[in-house]
Amino acid sequence: MQIDILPVLQALGIQSVNEASSTGKAWNSNDQQNVQVIFSPVDGKGIASVRFANSADYENTVLKAEDAFRAWRTWPAPKRGEVIRQLGDALRQHKTDLGKLVSYEMGKSLQEGYGEVQEMIDICDFSVGLSRQLYGLTMHSERPAHRMYEQWHPLGIVGIISAFNFPVAVWAWNMAIALVCGDVCIWKPSEKTPLTAIACQRILQKVFEANDVPEGVSCLLLGDRSIGELLSHDKRIGLVSATGSTRMGKAVGAAVGARLGRSLLELGGNNAIIISKDADLEMSLVGAVFGAVGTAGQRCTSTRRLIIHESVYDTFRDKLVNAYRQLKIGNPLDENMHVGPLIDIDAVKAYLSSIEKCKAEGGNFVVEGGVLEGEGYESGCYVKPCIAEAKNEFEIVQHETFAPILYLMKYKTLDDAIAMQNAVPQGLSSAIMTLNLREAEQFLSSAGSDCGIANVNIGTSGAEIGGAFGGEKETGGGRESGSDAWKAYMRRQTNTINYSDKLPLAQGIKFDL
């Protein structure tokens, strides 16, 4: 399948494959500093050259954002929401092209690419309503003729560090909410997927220009980890929202914490589905397979472990093996394919290393892995989703492997299964497949799953934007998207108003002059 991505780029406002810069604007071809060629894992071809930001670009961007914040915070929240509403409409118009670019640059299936853009549209819709619901509380004062209440104010500059696996959706989760809250944003996307970021910036900029939004309200800085380090150490950045590995998150959290700043961390997952003896096995099969192979296993919510009741273990394992035989692996822009490539050759090496470690610890592969070669697989990034019978305590099972490797293990009692589910350092997503109400409620109780997301009769992957997204333990504790996650982007202020002609002190303290 031949891929001509240039018309897609042009439809998204990128007119030349040599014009993408650190700010999303065209750059002078004579300026060759920090220029990187971006390759697609789909066919291994170079898509475009981009210029990464340097420290001077960073400083100019922060100064611009500071100026923009002073103006943007004075806009009424519903007016800010109207801008986000128009952005949602613009994303609807560009959904097909942006979805294709997500699929080609990152490697996820085309349907998942479209789904990612739909997530952006959904969070815009959510944020429009939120712009009229930034509620505080009122409290009764112990002092006569006094009124107490709380209100929420914007923080300032929000730094957004996003990962390659969701190159645009996670930015939108943060950006849309931060902007209606009155913050401004600086986005540092993954250096592996900068073109989708540039396309989003172009779409956003047109909406901003039509509404006279101050320049600098939402900025883009392409670059490597050095840009993330600048954001993390900069006291002018009110909040750093970082999505990525636990190792990266620990570095960001330490840097931000050292300056007593705020961080919102969305890090690794090691997610399990418990398959009960009372599960609907056909429905469980769909959830398990999509969770394990969707985005080629490169979601933080991907299913890594299946904890299966011993009475249905053999039956369900055989169903899985048969389903894996039917998987179609290839160009993700072909909608007949189930699985696309890993992001790059380094990811392939990590996949192969994980397989060898599992075998060395005694894992038994019932579906073998390997790298695919030949026509259609020239990029070297296509691998076989594989399944291993393993033990939860294996060192490799305790780690998050960003690849389609699924570990199977047995359990006898639900208490055992929940203990296994929780016995990993990460705590993002979890699920149980059961038609037994008692099992479902136990799994959701305080003695059940210790994850930020716990599902019944759906898989671990595919969160909706209406609920707060995030996890515990080494997943970082952050919450993005829906519910009251907006509070992370604002500062709380408690106010007391005395409308009497006296000044009584709290707790009955006397202080007479």
Residues with catalytic roles = 266, 300
Q: What is the DSSP letter of 401?
A: -
Q: How far apart are CA 176 and CA 120, in angstroms?
A: 9
Q: How far apart are CA 289 and CA 479, in angstroms?
A: 26
Q: How far apart are CA 56 and CA 273, in angstroms?
A: 47
Q: How far apart are CA 264 and CA 243, in angstroms?
A: 8
Q: How far apart are CA 405 and CA 251, in angstroms?
A: 27
Rounded (to 5) percent helix, strand, coil in the chain = 40, 20, 40
Of the candidates 434, 145, 66, the one whose C-alpha atom is nearest the C-alpha of residue 275 is 434
Q: What is the DSSP letter of 350?
A: H
Beta strand residue intervals within 347-450, DSSP E: 364-367, 386-389, 405-411, 426-427, 429-433
Within a 10 A sphere around the Cβ of 156, how many other Cβ atoms? Answer: 19
The answer to whether the beta carbons of residues 148 and 138 sit under 8 Å apart is yes
Of the candidates 123, 109, 108, 238, the one whose C-alpha atom is nearest the C-alpha of residue 171 is 123
Q: How far apart are CA 175 and CA 184, in angstroms?
A: 8
Q: How far apart are CA 3 and CA 141, in angstroms?
A: 67
Beta strand residue intervals within 90-182, DSSP E: 138-140, 146-154, 157-161
Q: How far apart are CA 445 and CA 130, in angstroms?
A: 30
Tell me the two tokens of residue 294.
């969707």
Torsion 186-191-194-197 (CA) sign: negative
Helices (runs of H) and strands (runs of E) counted in the chain:
14, 21
Instruction: Please classify residue 250 by burial: count the beta carbons closer than 10 Å to its beta carbon, then call 0-12 exposed, 13-18 middle and 19+ buried.
Output: middle
